[in-house]
Amino acid sequence: MASEFSQAIDQAILWHVRMQAADARAEDWAAFTDWLESDPANSEAYDRIALADADLGGLAPTAPEAPAVAHVMPARRGWHLWRLAPFAAAAALLLAILSWSQASGPALRFFVTKPGETRTVALGGGTRIELNGDTRVAVDMATARFARLERGEATFVVRHDAAQPFVLEADGHRVVDAGTVFNVALSGAELSVGVAQGSVLFDPQAVRIALPAGHTLRLDKLRSSIELGRQPPVTIGSWREGRLVYSNSPVGRVAVDVARAIGKPVTVDGSLQSQRFTGVIIIDDNEPAVMHRVAALLDAQARRRGEGWSLSP
């Protein structure tokens, strides 16, 4: 078993180098995803290499206990770029991305949704942005290859163009696509990214974490940490189908999502704040029914408070 995991580590290192190269093609990303999905040990090994290389701390002495366990690493300012020669090409790609996106600023157009409202923005060529409630996105309409999420949540369905990658900026961080459907949410000090199809590269100018389909990333500025996890791809961005899916998530995060969906503030009181939730919440236009559904799933009480709702034990 140990030798098999060691072999997976060796392969993960090779894939990690290969996928940072500027000439990585769509076929490479597809092969990379197939390799990840072919064996749970491959995903574990790749997560291990990505985390270790980003933190420059070397490999941890033991393997993760189970695929479902999330990985946490510091999200500090002092991250370094890759020190291995193969990443020189990736650095050249990075400079091209930075130069292009900075030059695209003057053509930005803003799209906004109210709480409880959703909207789809078609950018042409099969690329579109689906905005959840209480969301604001700026888009470079001249090229349709740059967007900035200023608040809220959106799902990005992107047509890949190797010559001009789609770049999303959110709270000073960048997500670069590789033929992708991905979801990004920005709420307070927390930024989350989930990939439903294809792959993205998170923060190419810093940590450079490749996220294939079914992988998630959550950045918590208050804790100065990044958490990597996995989630069934079909559940990523499922708010578009009226479903909120959670796996051991803080109730506070659930409240934020529900508030965005129903268009009313939702507060969490007492010991409920420290609880976590796993399950699926169905969202529809019947606000009271949604809140009582949420309360039943959390074994809590839902009460009106001012213009919104409160959840309490």
Q: Residue 104: what pLDDT?
A: 43
Q: Is 107 exposed, middle or buried (0-12, 13-18, 19+ CB in 10 A)?
A: middle
71-82: average pLDDT: 38
The three-class DSSP label of residue 70 is: coil
The architecture of the domain spanning 242-312 is 3-Layer(bab) Sandwich (3.55)
| CA 305/CA 177 separation, integer angstroms | 41
pLDDT at 84 over 70: no
Scored b (16 or more CB within 10 A) or e, 58-90 reads eeeeebbeeeeeebebebeeebeebeeeebeeb
pLDDT at 177 over 70: yes
Whole-angstrom CA distances from 93 to 22, 100, 102, 204, 219 are: 5, 11, 14, 9, 24
Q: Which structure tokens are listed for 4?
A: 């098999």
Q: In terms of Cα–Cα distance, which of 166, 163, 156, 162 is closest to 122?
A: 156
pLDDT at 62 over 70: no
Please give the DSSP secondary-structure letter assigned to residue 68.
T
Q: Residue 143: what pLDDT?
A: 86
Question: Residues 190-224: pLDDT tens digits?
Answer: 999 999 999 999 987 777 888 999 999 999 988 88
236-240: average pLDDT: 95
Residue 201, amino acid:
L
Angle between helices 40-55 and 26-38 in degrees, nearest 10: 120
pLDDT at 277 over 50: yes
| CA 209/CA 185 separation, integer angstroms | 17
pLDDT at 262 over 70: yes
Match domain 85-230 to its CATH number in 2.40.50.140, 1.25.40.10, 3.40.140.10, 2.60.120.1440.
2.60.120.1440
Give DSSP secondary structure letters for 180-219.
Answer: EEEEEEEETTEEEEEEEESEEEE-TTTT-EEEETTEEEEE
Q: Identify the bridge partners of residue 30 per DSSP, sorted by sequence position.
A: none
pLDDT at 23 over 60: no
Q: In terms of Cα–Cα distance, which of 201, 196, 209 is closest to 157?
A: 196
Q: Residue 53: what pLDDT?
A: 53
Residue with tokens 């939730």: 277
pLDDT at 159 over 90: no
Residue with tokens 């500090």: 76
Where in the chain are all domains bearing CATH 2.60.120.1440? 85-230
Where in the chain are all domains bearing CATH 3.55.50.30? 242-312
Q: How many CB atoms lie within 10 A of CB 190?
A: 18
| CA 181/CA 300 separation, integer angstroms | 35
* Average pLDDT taken over every residue of the chain: 78
Question: Residues 105-127: pLDDT tens digits?
Answer: 447 899 999 999 999 999 988 89
